[in-house]
Amino acid sequence: MKNYSILVAEDDADDRFLLQAAFRENRFADSLHFVENGVQAMEYMLSLSHPDTFPKLILLDLNMPKKDGKEVLSEIGQYPAFSNIPILIFSTTHNETEMQKCYDLGATSYIIKPDNFEKLLRIIADIHANWIVPVEVLAVKSAI
């Protein structure tokens, strides 16, 4: 399987720990890059110089300090080079209006944070199946 990177923007240390554990337990934590706020997320994205270094997926908390998830979505949308990166909002906010705003700003999907680790394991497995594996299959097909 090809290596890939995932950018995780999450301000809560416990959530970062649980996400890392869930990716590891699902055996596909090739490269997780964690940032703690939206400013760091944008600094990281803008530091990448070539599409081969872009994350294959961004898991973005909605409510972060310094720059929230909606601000990051809006800013990422200003860079056409990032337009093919799936951005999944991962938030405790379960508000239809907020969800729609995220989709309007370019979010690919909106996931409500689960209330236990078993559900988180299933969500991470689903993220892999729906967002990482298809990217790998497309890469193989385009190489043929």
Annotated domain spans of the chain = 6-143
Global confidence as pTM: 0.83
Regions of the chain where pLDDT drops below 70: 1-4, 28-30, 133-144
pLDDT of residue 37: 94
* Ranges of H-type helices in the chain: 13-25, 38-47, 69-76, 96-104, 117-127, 133-143
CATH superfamily of 6-143: Response regulator (3.40.50.2300)
Distance, in Å, from the CA atom of 144 to the CA atom of 135, rounded to the nearest integer, reads 15
